[in-house]
């Protein structure tokens, strides 16, 4: 399990204990980007208590996508069969982990904890945040021709083999765009995605690190990928001659 942290001192102990309660034996990797609030030290201390927690300390805040690229590389190196991603702020409920893992067990290459399938919800969000996320996801699905309802979601379980197949190290995106880019690559490989309904709670402690810039990055990249792949497809069809 890879848990990226930046300034999560108020949440990291609780999240590690709750994950451990659900997953008695899974390895947990916290990827911390030099949080000045001492998140990494806390994670290590709680890790000694709950067991099988490793902390990857990176020098400076480098973004969510970069944290996952580093975490997945380490997880694959260690030979894990399934890699899970989850936020540290308790927006994702560790109690949902077994359902995500079960979806992979039942054949999914990627299981997404989804807010936008029946049973999923974002009960604490104000209307404007819900609207932005919902329509952002509709836009991404339409622009990329991707049958995924919640492609920006960050609570996921990947089969290790599919991570290798999509060449995740070459992704470049950071925030929500990183999640979309990963899902898009899985779809383009013809792999199976299962969306498992989750209720996404707003964080109670600490502050969000996402910004307007991250939203703009996501919209711009989705537009670029959609246009690029349509043009390329058309180019290839033209090169192949009339059908």
Residues near ligand GDP, by CB under 6 A: 4-6, 8, 31-33, 61-64, 67, 87-89, 91, 203, 208-210
Question: Least CB distance from residue 107 to ligand GDP, whole Å?
Answer: 28
Lookup result for tokens 């995924």: 148
Question: Least CB distance from residue 192 to ligand GDP, whole Å?
Answer: 26
Task: Give whichever of 31 and 162 is closer to ligand GDP, judged by the CB atom.
Answer: 31
Print the binding letters for residues 70-99 with Mg ion: x by CB under 5 A, - otherwise: -----------------x-x-x--------
Task: Kindly state the tokens that stand for 81.
Answer: 């069969």
For residue 133, state whether it binds Mg ion (rule: CB under 5 A): no
Give strand ranges (E) for 136-198: 156-159, 193-197
Rounded CA gap, 74 and 43, in Å?
A: 18
Task: Give whichever of 109 and 176 is closer to ligand GDP, judged by the CB atom.
Answer: 176
Rounded CA gap, 83 and 4, in Å?
A: 13
Asked if 120 contacts 194 with a C-beta cutoff of 8 angstroms, the reply is: no
Lookup result for tokens 């290839």: 236
Question: Least CB distance from residue 166 to ligand GDP, whole Å?
Answer: 21
Interacting partner of 74 out of ligand GDP, Mg ion, none (Cβ under 5 to 8 A depending on kind): none
Give strand ranges (E) for 42-92: 53-57, 82-85
Rounded CA gap, 64 and 179, in Å?
A: 10
Interacting partner of 209 out of ligand GDP, Mg ion, none (Cβ under 5 to 8 A depending on kind): ligand GDP
Interacting partner of 33 out of ligand GDP, Mg ion, none (Cβ under 5 to 8 A depending on kind): ligand GDP
**Segment 174-213, which members bind Mg ion (CB under 5 A)?**
203
Distances (CA, A) of 128 to 25, 124, 141: 40, 12, 20
Please give the residue ranges that form the binding site for Mg ion (CB under 5 A): 87, 89, 91, 203
């Amino acid at each position: 399990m890879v848990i990226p942290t930046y300034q999560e001192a108020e949440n990291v102990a609780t999240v590690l204990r709750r994950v451990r309660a659900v997953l008695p034996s899974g390895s947990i990797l916290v990827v911390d980007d030099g949080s000045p609030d001492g998140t990494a030290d806390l994670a290590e201390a709680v890790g000694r208590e709950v067991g099988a927690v490793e902390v990857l300390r990176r020098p400076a805040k480098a973004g969510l996508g970069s944290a996952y690229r580093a975490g997945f590389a380490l997880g694959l190196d260690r030979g894990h069969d399934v890699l899970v991603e989850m936020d540290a702020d308790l927006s994702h409920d560790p109690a949902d982990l077994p359902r995500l893992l079960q979806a992979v067990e039942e054949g999914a290459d990627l299981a997404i904890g989804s807010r936008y399938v029946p049973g999923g919800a974002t009960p604490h969000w104000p209307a404007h945040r819900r609207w932005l996320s919902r329509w952002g996801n509709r836009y991404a699905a339409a622009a990329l021709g991707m049958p995924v309802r919640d492609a920006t979601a960050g609570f996921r379980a990947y089969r290790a083999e599919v991570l290798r197949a999509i060449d995740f190290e070459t992704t470049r995106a950071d925030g929500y765009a990183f999640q979309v880019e990963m899902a898009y690559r899985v779809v383009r490989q013809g792999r199976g995605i299962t969306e498992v309904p989750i209720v996404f709670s707003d964080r109670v402690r600490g502050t969000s690190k996402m910004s307007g810039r991250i939203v703009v990055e996501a919209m711009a990249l989705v537009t670029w990928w959609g246009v690029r792949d349509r043009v390329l497809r058309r180019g290839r069809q033209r090169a192949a001659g009339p059908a």
